[in-house]
Structure 1
Amino acid sequence: MFAFSMFAPEPALSRLWDMLLSGEVWEMSIPSLYRVGLGLVFAIGIGVPVGIAIGRMVVLREVTNIPFQFLRMISPLSWMPIAVMAFATWDAAIIFLIAVAAVWPIMFATAAGLRRLDPAWLKVARNLGASPLHQLTTVILPAIATDILTGIRLALGVAWIVLVPAEYLGVTSGLGYAINDARDTLDYSRLAATVVVIGIIGFLLDYICLKAVQRLNWVRES
Structure 2
Amino acid sequence: MKSCLRHLSGLSGLVVLLFLWWLGTDVLSPKNSFASRFSVEETLPTLWHLLTGSDLFLHALISLKRIVVGLVFALIIGVPVGLLIGAKPWVERATGPAFQFLRMISPLSWMPIAVMVFGIGDKPIYFLLTFATVWPIMFNTAAGVKQLDRHFLLVAKSLAATQSETLLYVVFPGILSHMMTGIRLAIGIAWIIIVPCEMLGVSAGLGYFILDTRDRLAYPELMSTILLIGLIGYLLDSAVRAAARRLG
TM-score (norm 2): 0.85
Spell out structure 1 runs of 4+ moving beyond 6 A. none
| Aligned equivalent of 2:100 | 69
For residues 128 and 57 of structure 1, the distance between their equivalents in structure 2, rounded to whole angstroms, comes to 23
Contact 1:7 1:192 in 2 (8 A): yes
| Aligned equivalent of 1:25 | 56
Contact 1:3 1:188 in 2 (8 A): no
For residues 89 and 142 of structure 1, the distance between their equivalents in structure 2, rounded to whole angstroms, comes to 40
Contact 2:129 2:193 in 1 (8 A): yes
Q: What residue ranges of structure 2 are gaps of 5+ in the alignment?
A: 1-31
Quick one: higher RCO (CA 8 Å, sep 6+), 1 or 2?
1
| Aligned equivalent of 1:124 | 155
Alpha-carbon distance, 1:4 to partner:
3.2
Output the amino acid matched with 1:77.
L
How many residues are treated as equivalent by the alignment? 217
Q: What residue ranges of structure 1 are gaps of 5+ in the alignment?
A: 218-222
Alpha-carbon distance, 1:129 to partner:
0.2
Alpha-carbon distance, 1:89 to partner:
4.1
| Aligned equivalent of 1:166 | 197
Question: RMSD of the alignment, in Å?
Answer: 1.0
| Aligned equivalent of 1:179 | 210
Contact 2:120 2:202 in 1 (8 A): no
Which of 102, 118, 121 aligns to 1:90? It is: 121
Partner deviation per Cα, 1:106-136 (whole Å, 9 max, x = no partner)? 0000000110001111011001101111110
Partner deviation per Cα, 1:6-28 (whole Å, 9 max, x = no partner)? 21111110100111111433121
| Aligned equivalent of 1:54 | 85
For residues 156 and 233 of structure 2, the distance between their equivalents in structure 1, rounded to whole angstroms, comes to 40
| Aligned equivalent of 1:220 | none
Alpha-carbon distance, 1:85 to partner:
1.4
Alpha-carbon distance, 1:88 to partner:
3.9
| Aligned equivalent of 1:6 | 37
Q: Does 1:79 align with 2:110?
A: yes
User: Percent identity of the aligned residues?
Assistant: 49
For residues 58 and 114 of structure 2, the distance between their equivalents in structure 1, rounded to whole angstroms, comes to 25
Alpha-carbon distance, 1:2 to partner:
3.5
